[in-house]
Homo-oligomer: A and B are copies of this chain.
Amino acid sequence: MSSYQHIKEEAYQANMQLPKLGLVLFTFGNVSAVDRSQGVFAIKPSGVPYEDLSPEKMVIVDFDGNTVEGSLRPSSDTKTHAVLYKHWESIGGIVHTHSTYATAWAQAQRDIPIYGTTHADHLTTDVPCAPPMDDAMIQGNYEYETGFQIMNYLQEKGMSYEEVEMILVGNHAPFTWGKDAKKAVYNSAVVEEIARMAFLTEQIRPQVPRLQDSLIKKHFERKHGPDSYYGQ
């Protein structure tokens, strides 16, 4: 058995959640799962329909984006995953989708404002939207640069990838991550729902204020940090 079997299985199971959660049309999305000890990750093969996937079809790739095992071509977004795994040492899984509402905010090139506790349960800031890259970066090593665009924008906003596990890439779509592939998929569903609620909130009341700081802090700390009391 391949020494990568566990991450192939993890990536497969996580990928299969995307259509179940309504986050992808056709093959518009991909999930990867990392094995830090071996320095590789398993990722969806490019353009293969979800119903045809199996753990064996996952492609094993190193942190420079080179295929280590697997007969299929990996996701076209593989280099973005590779860059993030290489530089963010504590993440275990990454998801990219074109989910409808989050992608609409990315197309609008707007951060998603924090309007309620559903948002604050998951992060204490607006969901950041990295600006589109300049022409040179796009024409160059595009997917590689996308990874750096994500990292640089988080840093510029003073955000930590351990606290903010989701971002929009302007004109493109959301990326999410987490301690494992399952958590990254969870975050991709969360950002879609936050995006949908924020859209509706602004329609219902165009000049709506952002959430007050005390409520942001309270809800985030209910779920996270030393005194959290959500979950088992």
Contacts and interface: CB of A to CB of B under 8 A. Distances in A.
A86 interface: no
A103 B193 CA distance: 11
Contacts of A48: 232
Interface stretch (A34-42, A154-162, A197-205): A197-205
Contacts of A202: 204
A193 B211 CA distance: 25
Nearest to A205: B108
B201 A138 contact: no
Given A116-B107, A197-B103, A200-B199, A135 B189 contact: no
Nearest to A134: B214
Given A72-B232, A214-B135, A231-B46, A173 B116 contact: yes
List the number of copies, as a whole number: 4
A171 interface: yes
B215 A171 contact: yes
A49 to B, nearest CB: 11
A68 interface: no
A220 interface: no
A56 to B, nearest CB: 15
Contacts of A205: 108-110
A25 B48 CA distance: 27
A212 B132 contact: yes
A116 B142 contact: no
Contact of A232 (B26, B28, B46): B46
Interface of A: 25-26, 28, 45-48, 72-73, 76, 98, 100-101, 103-110, 115-118, 132-133, 135, 138-139, 142, 171-173, 186, 189-190, 193, 196-205, 208, 211-215, 218, 222, 229-232
17 contacts: A25-B189, A72-B232, A73-B231, A98-B117, A107-B208, A108-B208, A109-B205, A116-B173, A117-B172, A118-B173, A132-B215, A135-B214, A138-B214, A171-B211, A171-B215, A172-B215, A202-B204
